[in-house]
Amino acid sequence: MKNELESIGEEVVKALCQIYDPEIPVNIYELGLIYDVQISEDFDVKILMTFTAPNCPVAESLPLEIKEKVEKVKKINKAIVDITWDPPWNKTMMSEEAKLELGFL
């Protein structure tokens, strides 16, 4: 049986998979924009993410959308979204499904 944090982690990933990059018809998780998700024993979530480009038009609104959707996951108290540019995002970070969807395979 999975422990509670693993189960909640799966729910957080499901929430992330409902958020799409407005310019690319693939969710942000499959695009590889989410670098790390940490859930504390107090059910606080810290997400480390990037964007496809530094001048991304949703650089201000997307982290807020992520925070709001993740905080709706049952038992999650709060979510913090940190942005990083290291390593820079590139196409190799996409899942096989995303590459197939976008015609890269």
Tens-digit pLDDT profile for residues 55-70 = 888 888 999 999 999 9
In a domain, 42, yes or no: yes
**What mean pLDDT is predicted for residues 34-47?**
96
The DSSP output letter for 27 is B
In a domain, 99, yes or no: no
In a domain, 105, yes or no: no
| Closest listed residue to residue 45, CA positions, set 18, 26, 72 | 72
Strands (E), 1-105: 34-39, 44-49, 78-83
Does the pLDDT of residue 1 top 50, yes or no?
Answer: no
**What mean pLDDT is predicted for residues 20-31?**
90
In a domain, 102, yes or no: no
Q: What is the pLDDT of residues 52-105, one digit of tens each?
A: 888 888 888 999 999 999 999 999 999 999 999 999 999 999 999 999 988 887
In a domain, 27, yes or no: yes
In a domain, 101, yes or no: no
**The pairing of beta strand 78-83 with beta strand 44-49:** parallel
List the CATH number of the domain containing 74: 3.30.300.130
Total structural domains within the chain: 1
| Closest listed residue to residue 22, CA positions, set 68, 46, 53, 67 | 53
**Phi, psi (5° rounding) for residue 2?**
-70, 145
Structural domain harbouring 12: 4-94
In a domain, 66, yes or no: yes
